[in-house]
Structure 1
Amino acid sequence: MNIISFDIWGDYAYFRRGYTTTSTISYPFPSRTTIAGMIASILGYPRDSYYNLFQENNSKIGLKIINPIKNTRINLNYINTKLGMNLSDIEGSGKRTQVPAEFIKDAKYRIYVSLDDENIMNQLYNSLHEHKSVYTPCLGISECLANFKLIGDKIHQVQLQTQENINIDSVVPKNSGNIQIEKGKHYGVVKSPAFFNENRSVLSFQEFYYETKGNPIKLDSCEYYQIGEDNVIMY
């Protein structure tokens, strides 16, 4: 399998959990659909035009938490919809309302991506290598600007491996194997969108185990890829 890896980071990240229209809680790391959007922004794909490139049958994604997950609260300004949907329709004060939202501070992740389309893989590698992006990359919302850096000097060519008692450096899909709980590590579980269709409807969700400080997670046995020094599960 051919895999490209790159780091992406920023002062803040906000990956809003879409359980309700008013949710202000952030995922600890970007969902698969959000990662697809990051890659599409670097390549310059218009909104809603790239979902078929990142389906289960033609793409694989992996993610490693590099900086520890640190949550902080920041107030966001929203239109006070109780008084109207457009600012021009609202008279006097009270046009906006402040809502506290959960952000990730000093966010940094390593993204691994494999696409069946070799031309797009080459375009992505060249863009990362030249540090060029068509649209400005961000971590969840446009206010959370991001920087990025290619890891390695070529596209990684790796083979699927299987091993027992293996430390996995990436987040772990819940069905990958049994976790060996280790003292001093802080584990979390999160469920996030995995695949969209052309109507921007979620086709399926995925659940992940992660270690909040980015430490490896030990599994009894699993299938993984060794990418540089990292053991990674692609999903």
Structure 2
Amino acid sequence: MGSTIYNRPGILGGEVHRYHPMPEDEESKIIQKIVLIKENGTVFRFLFSQISPVFGKIPILKEMEERRKSNVMSEYANICIDVWGDFAMFTRPDSRVERVTYPVPTPSACRGILNAVYSKPIEFYYEITQIDVMKPIRLMTVRRNEVKKKTNVSKAVKNKGYFINSAEERTQRVCTYIRDVYYRIHAKLVLRDDAPKTMNVERLLAQFNRRVENGKCFYQPALGTRECMCYFSAPDMDMEPIDDSENLGVMLYDVFDIRNNIPLDTSPNGKKTGGKTQVSFFNAVMEHGVIHVPAFDSNEILIRRNQVHV
């Protein structure tokens, strides 16, 4: 059996996990499929239509069929992209006033960059699998002039004379940035179970590759905060991750359920029936410049639900 691979120089496109049988007898096809499933650790929904005539012969296939019916499987493609910029700030959630950055990008920030390049929330979502740090981590501090208050829109609408005196409310705050950054993001482009039947991973992957090659994006991606402009391209295979290892401690994974497609209702009179935030964390460890990000549904992700840690 074989697999469809979209692979250009620089590993821009990844492997699409959709399997095609070779002209062999049914028994050998089943054995090959089982071996590949054990190696990849994932079962795909269109596998069973090819082996259903002999489904009852091997017990392990019954368990796989139950997993398929419970929507455990998903169809995905591996993608890889290089991002870089002059400055970056991946704000720690515990730094409220004077913002302090994580030393490396969070999976949430990486997902935001990929969504800026190409996004179809109804059809697929990104799941970050690995982050490579390609340049040494160099921190810098900047003292910025800011104001203590934010404009109250409702008061401004009702009272035409409403304003904030910036001279009285001005204050200086120190912010920590990372300078001269370069990262390589590895992720899965996962097709949603309820995606339109006309959509497939090959088409989404081809569109993603074209947009990266042509430098297209829906909006300018940022390395954390908006003032940190992000540039992107296909991976430069002449660059290697830094030879540095460090336990980075507990790091923010995301502030949403990445599999949920319900938008937030942020209107003042909203019925609060929209999507909800779901903060999650993980223990980040950098080994020779590489950070392996656990799967979102794994036990390594710490998720806060209803004020209770799960």
Tell me the TM-score normalized by structure 2.
0.51
SS of aligned partner of 2:286: strand
Total equivalences in the alignment: 182
Q: CA deviation at 1:124?
A: 1.8
The 1:37/1:8 distance shift into structure 2, 3 A limit, reads: same
Structure-2 residue corresponding to 1:208: 284
Q: CA deviation at 1:151?
A: 2.0
Question: Which of 45, 56, 69 is residue 137 of structure 2 equivalent to?
Answer: 69
Structure-1 residue corresponding to 2:207: 123
Question: Aligned letter for 1:187?
Answer: E
Question: Aligned letter for 1:53?
Answer: Y
Q: Report 1:138-157 matches (<5 A).
A: 138-151=222-235
Structure-2 residue corresponding to 1:40: 115
The 1:120/1:94 distance shift into structure 2, 3 A limit, reads: farther
Partners of 1:27 and 1:190 within 8 A in 2: no
Could you report, residue by residue, the CA deviation over 1:45-82 in whole angstroms, capped at 9, with x for unpaired residues? Answer: 6xxx68x724xxxx34211000111000012333222x
The 1:114/1:203 distance shift into structure 2, 3 A limit, reads: same
SS of aligned partner of 1:209: strand
Question: Which one has more relative contact order, counting CA pairs under 8 Å at least 6 apart?
Answer: 1
SS of aligned partner of 2:90: coil
Does residue 105 of structure 1 match 2:179?
Answer: yes
Distance 1:112 1:5 in 2: 5
Does residue 53 of structure 1 match 2:117?
Answer: no
Could you report, residue by residue, the CA deviation over 1:20-61 in whole angstroms, capped at 9, with x for unpaired residues? Answer: 53251101122111111111111256xxx68x724xxxx342
**As a proportion of its length, which structure holds more strand?**
1
Distance 2:176 2:82 in 1: 22
Structure-1 residue corresponding to 2:56: none
**As a proportion of its length, which structure holds more helix?**
2
Q: CA deviation at 1:112?
A: 0.8
Distance 1:21 1:116 in 2: 33
Question: Aligned letter for 1:149?
Answer: S
Give unpaired runs (5+ residues) of structure 1: 154-168, 172-183, 218-231
Q: CA deviation at 1:203?
A: 4.2
Question: Which of 178, 185, 194 is residue 253 of structure 2 equivalent to?
Answer: 194
Distance 1:99 1:110 in 2: 31
Q: CA deviation at 1:149?
A: 0.9
Distance 2:182 2:166 in 1: 42
Does residue 95 of structure 1 match 2:154?
Answer: no
Q: CA deviation at 1:116?
A: 2.2
Question: Aligned letter for 1:72?
Answer: M
Give unpaired runs (5+ residues) of structure 2: 1-14, 16-76, 157-161, 192-200, 263-274, 295-310
SS of aligned partner of 2:110: helix
Q: Percent identity?
A: 22
Report the more deviating stretch, 36-45 or 139-148. 36-45
Partners of 1:75 and 1:100 within 8 A in 2: yes
Partners of 1:7 and 1:108 within 8 A in 2: yes
The 1:200/1:16 distance shift into structure 2, 3 A limit, reads: farther
Distance 2:165 2:236 in 1: 56
The 1:152/1:71 distance shift into structure 2, 3 A limit, reads: closer
The 1:90/1:60 distance shift into structure 2, 3 A limit, reads: closer
RMSD: 3.2
Partners of 1:5 and 1:152 within 8 A in 2: no
Q: CA deviation at 1:127?
A: 0.9
Question: Which of 92, 95, 106 is residue 31 of structure 1 equivalent to?
Answer: 106
Partners of 2:135 and 2:241 within 8 A in 1: no
Partners of 1:17 and 1:23 within 8 A in 2: no
